[in-house]
Structure 1
């Protein structure tokens, strides 16, 4: 593109510049010729007027005109003293007089005018340029024709030299312009080259590449816009990579989660098929198969619940916090039996908006995790309050707590901070992922804070 712009701009400049020189040269040539013609016409008129008076004087004295022509015309030969002007005189198309320079021109058949009008012409004779003015004298001397010759060769040569100088200067100026234009286009197209190079780097995966920004012109604005676009591309590619990593982790965890129960089911089924078992052994194997089948069923139901929460809109209504806490407490009554864990409910707000079943499910999941984190003598506080103008529900325990690394991943599907404990409790690592999705569907934010040995706090902050 730069080369095409350079050639097009240079061609247009050369065309119009040389056209301008040509027009100026033609105008100067015409001016030179017109001045020579005006001079020649003026001299011809002056000589013809003076000659008529001389002829009238000769005729008044009764002297023969033809015999006196040579002496009458001789005084006008001074015009040829500078070797630029000459006279030729005809009578009835017969040459009767010529100046010194004009004698050389007789071989070129100078023709007198065919009518009484004066005629000015430009002729090139023997390598020299002449302005020739011819015209008949007025009656009664119309048989005589006066031809005036003016050598304008030097003026034409001066014009030619000036024209050559102009074209030479135009050539030098064109070379300088071509060089300057090349520098300017290099400067203009340098950002475009940088954009092209940076675009290729970004396309090859170097998303951190940026354009240098300097100045306050349009190219600077373009560089800033390009860098903003590159930042957005980098951000989106990072998000896509993180999403791809999460999906791959989900698939890996899902495959791992299925492998253990499927292996057990297949092993016990094969054992029952090939071995001779007692009734007690057969019932024990069937119980284990059913237990692992229930685990698979639980995983399937939980995954279906996550999918439904992502794709469906919830039905939101005003919920009484005290009633919600009472329902959750009754549901968890069985889980607390024999665990020596105390749960305390408190509320500073009367209502929250949401889906009753989903809110119960989320609180039960959070409290169930808190129960698992607490040992004997554990204490769990479930509270509802208003913080910074927003309604919140929090679940705080005094259990084992979590490290920052574990805390950052606990809402990922199939993630287990303590794999052995979760599997022994029948969990699949989907509970907190479901809680996060439930909170998101309520336009709420689920956050966790924890310190190892100091317990964990799960907080639901409603934005509406």
Structure 2
């Protein structure tokens, strides 16, 4: 670890100094060139200056051009210059290596000079022989000291094991009790040593297991509640359908009565169909990853406006649309469903003459879509549950309108698939604001 740390420090120093020397070299060469000196003469002159300065710091410098060595202070004329040090590096590329010259070890950094002198390559070698020598001596000393401690540790091990086995037995007993469903069992913690920390960790694990089991029980309860609600939602229209069908079949009725019964059967059938489609949409979203594309906001808003204009006109509700960013990365069809559902819910909350506003804006460099209405609003308790499946703020209104309490649940799932946050704020009598925040755009 000491060797790696020291070598890493030397590598960092070598990279920094190579960058500094290359930059200074290019600046000085540019200054000499402006005074009329040729590039080659400038290279040679500067090399001598840099050599005199860095030679005292156990540093070797070398300069090559187009793969041919020009100047070097590598000790020994017969030393083979590293082949990779001669090739021209790509712009910004630097090669790091470990070299050996005359029984000395060097960390080498090779890289081209900054443009327009990138035909020249500067090689920098920093002497790390002392580091490797100190490491060899250290490992030898540590080996001897380790041998001396082995005997002492063997004796201490017996004492440690006797102390370790007792809390391990406690942990074993507590584990068996947890396995039997007694999640509240904990180990008594004494002291501040490692064994006490282990006991705390075990207690934390037991606490987390207890919490997760409670979450699983809650999730199972929610699933059961979902199934109960679904059964209730299906039973109500099925009962009505069967009753009106029997009404038509068994009793002689006028055409007007038959038409009324048939219309009611069709209405309840559409409600069942709507529930099935919504459940299918949510199941599809949970099981598949959607494909996101850049969608023009104006086009998306125009399609939403077209889908809702007739219903808004019938209910005498005014809807305004305003976009302040051009594109949105999303699934256009799913985003259309989300916006239509949110506005449709806003229309249900508004009476005749109500107003709804859709605003696509930037907030804290994030894309946000607001849908605001001046309807009856909701309490804080209602806001907590509005995205739950089959939850209705006004059950009677939702049934008469054909709703099944799945629209906002689907919206929440669509938002999750877009890695967006869907939130609501409302006050009774003050309207509601739905806010869709895209956290990854």
TM-score clears 0.5? yes
Q: Does 1:268 align with 2:244?
A: yes
Give the alignment partner of residue 258 of structure 2, picking from 260, 282, 287: 282
Give a deviation string over 1:255-291, Cα, whole Å, max 9, x none.
Answer: 1101111001111122222112222222222222122
Q: Any residues of structure 2 matched to 1:46-65 within 5 Å, and which?
A: none
Give the alignment partner of residue 300 of structure 1, picking from 276, 283, 292: 276
Indicate how the Cα distance of structure 1 residues 399 and 272 shifts in structure 2: closer, same or farther if over 3 A, else same: same
Q: Does 1:250 align with 2:235?
A: no
In structure 2, the residue matched to 1:221 is 197
Give the alignment partner of residue 397 of structure 1, picking from 373, 380, 384: 373
Q: Any residues of structure 2 matched to 1:347-386 within 5 Å, and which?
A: 347-386=323-362
In structure 2, the residue matched to 1:323 is 299
Give the alignment partner of residue 391 of structure 2, picking from 401, 415, 420: 415
Q: Does 1:438 align with 2:414?
A: yes
- TM-score scaled by length of structure 2: 0.60
Separation in 1 of the partners of 2:184 and 2:349?
43
Separation in 1 of the partners of 2:334 and 2:310?
20
Secondary structure of 2:385's aligned partner: coil
Give a deviation string over 1:179-203, Cα, whole Å, max 9, x none.
Answer: xx9xx96x75553454345435544
Separation in 1 of the partners of 2:185 and 2:412?
36
Greater Rg over alpha carbons, structure: 1
Separation in 2 of the partners of 1:388 and 1:209?
47
In structure 1, the residue matched to 2:400 is 424
Indicate how the Cα distance of structure 1 residues 417 and 200 shifts in structure 2: closer, same or farther if over 3 A, else same: farther
Separation in 2 of the partners of 1:458 and 1:351?
20
Indicate how the Cα distance of structure 1 residues 206 and 417 shifts in structure 2: closer, same or farther if over 3 A, else same: farther
Q: Any residues of structure 2 matched to 1:43-122 within 5 Å, and which?
A: none
Q: Does 1:343 align with 2:319?
A: yes
Q: Does 1:312 align with 2:260?
A: no
Secondary structure of 1:408's aligned partner: helix
Alignment size in residue pairs: 282
Indicate how the Cα distance of structure 1 residues 208 and 336 shifts in structure 2: closer, same or farther if over 3 A, else same: farther
Separation in 2 of the partners of 1:263 and 1:301?
20
Secondary structure of 2:351's aligned partner: coil
Quick check: 370-379 or 190-199, which moved more?
Answer: 190-199
Q: Any residues of structure 2 matched to 1:144-223 within 5 Å, and which?
A: 190-203=166-179, 205-223=181-199
Separation in 2 of the partners of 1:360 and 1:214?
61
Deviation at 1:204, TM superposition (A): 5.1
Q: Any residues of structure 2 matched to 1:228-247 within 5 Å, and which?
A: 228-247=204-223
In structure 1, the residue matched to 2:431 is 455
Separation in 1 of the partners of 2:429 and 2:176?
52
In structure 2, the residue matched to 1:100 is none
Give a deviation string over 1:60-85, Cα, whole Å, max 9, x none.
Answer: xxxxxxxxxxxxxxxxxxxxxxxxxx
Separation in 2 of the partners of 1:246 and 1:352?
34
Unmatched segments (≥5 aa) in structure 1: 1-180
Give a deviation string over 1:400-441, Cα, whole Å, max 9, x none.
Answer: 222222211111111112110111111001101110111111
Deviation at 1:314, TM superposition (A): 1.3
Separation in 1 of the partners of 2:328 and 2:370?
13
Separation in 1 of the partners of 2:322 and 2:185?
54
